[in-house]
């Protein structure tokens, strides 16, 4: 395979620069972090390893972060807390109060993954996923930014043809603390026939749609100036409100080309013609689905970081993949998305871009060297070698 030098670093840095402008409050927040950094070089990080492969990839990421920070004179103070299934086992709650309090007092939150088969039979209100929803709401992390970038190095790892995915650079802006995951009423009951039912409410207020729309328009303005709003306004009243508000906000951004697409068509077009998209803005449940689909354009969930941010306070930085309980403890996980999530954290919440540069360069170097974990390994590809999670971590350290 022909490998492109510094492809990952350039891609992540370009995405980072674009993402830095996605919210009006970002400049204020970065300036605040920068002022704090001039006084104290210790960055307080709330570390949430979670479940499944979470502890394995978090170990690699924090070691890499410590080494990269040391090269730039930066020090990290890690406070590890429980969330998800691990928290349920220890405390009976998916998000203990102590965890949320530590997160609020930190400069940033680094989260690996939650959930697993062990807890699938619990009542919905007690399952690990409720912890993730609760910490997002508790930190008011309303905007989820998920880049889907296909670097030249890994275009052949995609399940789609190389010519369809090479050069894809999409940013999905997902509203994160509203919609059907948080709407009330929700629960179980019986209908008029006495049959048991389950129900959820998909609801958005105008202010909620306005603030996520502004994030998306600001992002598009700094990228290709194209924004696609995804909803289902042909059948859902909540989507009709969404579309109406997005159009109204769009009038303030005449330089951004606004288009609209139903969720079913958007899911199809992501596979048929992914290069059509620049920035996508959508609600919670649709964004959940589309961002995972888009991340697979690169061939694996194990490569892509994400950020969940608010106008103030700490953001949550996590890989887009799940806890992968089937491979947990087997040293097979890909730690690169976790490392890149740490890099994203350094760039935006901590305002130490040189540390982010070092982490991204190390990731780029191991990929250029042909190292591949099982999720991105393709047998028969020249100049590549299958490695375990710990081996990938050790190679990262060499390049740091």
Mind listing the pLDDT tens digit for each residue in 37-63? Answer: 444 479 999 999 999 999 999 999 999
> How does pLDDT run across 364-395, given as a tens digit for each residue?
899 999 999 998 888 878 889 999 999 999 99
Average pLDDT score over residue span 102-109: 97
287 to each of 123, 309, 337, how far by Cα in Å?
24, 15, 19
> How does pLDDT run across 191-204, given as a tens digit for each residue?
999 999 999 999 99
Residue 238 lies in a domain: no
Does 349 qualify as catalytic in the annotation?
A: no
Does the pTM surpass 0.75? The reply is yes
Q: Is the pLDDT of residue 30 over 70?
A: no
Of 41, 44, 275, 292, which is the active-site residue?
292
Residue 71 lies in a domain: yes
Q: 192: which 2 tokens?
A: 């008029």
From the number of C-beta atoms within 10 Å of its C-beta (0-12, 13-18, 19+), residue 49 rates as buried
Residue 376 lies in a domain: yes
Residue 304 lies in a domain: yes
Structural domain total, the chain:
1
Of 71, 264, 326, 398, which is the active-site residue?
264
Does 292 qualify as catalytic in the annotation?
A: yes
Residue 263 lies in a domain: no
Of 169, 202, 288, 375, which is the active-site residue?
288
Q: Which domain holds residue 122?
A: 41-151+299-399
Residue 386 lies in a domain: yes
CB 22 within 8 A of CB 315: no
d(CA 388, CA 331): 6
Of 204, 232, 348, 368, which is the active-site residue?
232
Does 232 qualify as catalytic in the annotation?
A: yes
d(CA 75, CA 68): 10
Residue 272 lies in a domain: no
Which residues are CB-neighbours of 192 under 8 A, at least 6 positions away? none
CATH code, domain carrying 135:
3.40.718.10
Please state, rounded to an integer, the average pLDDT across all residues of the chain: 88
Residue 28 lies in a domain: no
């Amino acid at each position: 395979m022909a490998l492109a030098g510094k492809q990952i670093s350039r891609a992540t840095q370009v995405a980072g620069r674009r993402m830095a402008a996605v919210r009006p409050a970002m400049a204020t927040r970065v300036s605040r972090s920068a002022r704090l950094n001039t006084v104290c070089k210790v960055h307080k990080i709330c570390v949430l390893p979670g479940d499944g492969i979470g502890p394995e990839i978090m170990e690699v990421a924090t070691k890499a972060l410590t080494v990269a920070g040391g090269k730039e004179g930066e020090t990290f103070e890690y406070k590890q807390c429980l969330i998800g299934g691990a928290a349920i086992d220890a405390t009976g709650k998916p998000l203990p109060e102590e965890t949320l309090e530590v997160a609020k007092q930190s400069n940033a939150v680094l989260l690996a993954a939650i959930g697993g088969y062990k807890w699938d039979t619990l009542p919905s209100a007690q399952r690990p996923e409720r912890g993730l929803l609760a910490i997002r709401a508790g930190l008011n992390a309303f905007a989820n930014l998920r880049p889907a970038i296909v670097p030249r190095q890994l275009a052949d790892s995609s399940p789609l043809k190389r010519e369809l995915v090479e050069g894809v650079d999409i940013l999905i802006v997902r509203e994160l603390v509203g919609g059907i995951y948080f709407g009330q009423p929700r629960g179980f009951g019986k209908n008029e026939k006495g049959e048991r039912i389950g129900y959820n409410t998909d609801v958005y207020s105008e202010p909620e749609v306005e603030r996520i729309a502004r994030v998306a328009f600001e992002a598009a303005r700094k990228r290709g100036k194209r924004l696609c709003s995804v909803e289902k306004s042909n059948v859902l009243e909540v989507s009709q409100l969404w579309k109406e508000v997005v159009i109204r906000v769009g009038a303030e951004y005449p330089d951004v080309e606004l288009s609209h697409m139903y969720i079913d068509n958007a899911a199809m077009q992501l596979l048929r013609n992914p290069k059509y998209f620049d920035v996508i803005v959508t609600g919670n449940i649709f964004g959940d689905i589309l961002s995972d689909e888009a991340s697979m354009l690169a061939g694996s969930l194990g490569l892509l970081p994400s950020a969940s941010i608010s106008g103030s306070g700490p953001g949550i930085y996590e890989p887009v993949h799940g806890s992968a309980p089937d491979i947990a403890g087997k040293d097979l996980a890909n730690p690169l998305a976790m490392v890149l999530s740490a890099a994203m954290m350094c760039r935006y919440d901590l305002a130490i871009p040189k540390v982010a540069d070092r982490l991204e360069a190390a990731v780029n170097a191991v990929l250029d060297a042909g190292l591949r974990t099982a999720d991105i390994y393709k047998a028969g590809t020249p100049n590549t070698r299958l490695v375990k999670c710990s081996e990938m971590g050790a190679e990262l350290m060499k390049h740091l």
